[in-house]
């Protein structure tokens, strides 16, 4: 079952859902809009190797924004820290952004119950595009789970910005 916008708002008030900062204006019919932070990460490797911590640069951008070329891939983050010990968050693009040819995640849309922090977006542009910190870029929905809950205790807990892949940990 998906929570409606009104339910999301009520759960933020009771603390069953964390969205910080929270503004009523970002509630939609059945989601909450997420905004783009100002830190980005670009990998600097010719070939990405999941067994290692791949070289990358961190880019802080101002109000002038950042340009992604066609086919570019950058990690980015939501301004909002989100999470819930009760519901399953799932992230999505906003349709208006998808209509500009931008993926906000590259197939990873699931947030674990008990995972709290900024969402790392995996931006993939199919067309050249300029992005601006603070713009509405994605949305998060909340789903009622079935069964016992084991809260997330993984490697991306408490993210306060974009986080590079730590897939290498899984090889150890």
Using CB under 6 A as the criterion, which residues of the chain lie in contact with ligand DUT when the complex forms?
91, 105, 108, 110-112, 115, 119-120, 152, 154-156
Nearest to ligand DUT of 6, 144 (CB atom) = 144
What beta strand segments (E) does 23-103 contain?
32-35, 39-43, 56-60, 66-68, 73-83, 88-93, 102-103
Q: How far is the CB of 64 from ligand DUT (least distance, A)?
A: 26
Report CA torsion sign: 47, 166, 22, 24. positive
Give 2 or 163: the residue with its C-beta nearer to ligand DUT.
163
With beta carbons less than 8 A apart as the criterion, state whether 119 and 78 touch: yes
Which residue in 44, 56, 118, 115 sits closest to 83, CA to CA?
Answer: 115
Q: Between residues 112 and 133, which has the closer beta carbon with respect to ligand DUT?
A: 112
* Least Å from the CB of residue 55 to ligand DUT: 20
* Cα Rg, the chain, nearest whole Å: 16
Least separation in angstroms between CB 83 and ligand DUT: 8
Smallest gap from Cβ 154 to ligand DUT, in A, equals: 2
Which one, 63 or 172, has the nearer CB to ligand DUT?
172
List, in sequence order, every residue forming a beta bridge with 78; answer none if it has no partner. Answer: 36
**Nearest-CB residue to ligand DUT?**
154
């Amino acid at each position: 079952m998906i929570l409606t916008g009104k339910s999301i708002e009520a759960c933020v008030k009771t603390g069953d859902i964390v969205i910080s900062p929270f503004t009523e204006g970002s509630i939609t019919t059945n989601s909450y809009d997420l905004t783009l932070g100002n830190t980005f990460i670009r990998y600097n490797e010719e070939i990405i190797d999941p067994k290692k911590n791949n070289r990358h640069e961190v880019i802080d951008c101002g109000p002038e924004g950042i340009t992604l070329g066609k086919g570019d891939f950058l990690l980015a983050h939501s301004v909002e820290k989100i999470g819930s010990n009760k519901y399953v968050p799932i992230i999505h693009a906003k349709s208006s952004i998808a209509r500009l040819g931008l993926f906000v995640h590259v197939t990873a849309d699931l947030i674990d119950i008990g995972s709290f922090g900024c969402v790392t977006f995996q931006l993939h542009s199919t067309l050249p595009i300029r992005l601006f910190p603070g713009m509405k870029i994605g949305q998060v929905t909340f789903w009622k789970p079935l069964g016992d809950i084991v809260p997330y205790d993984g490697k991306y807990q408490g993210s306060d910005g974009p986080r590079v892949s730590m897939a290498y940990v899984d090889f150890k």
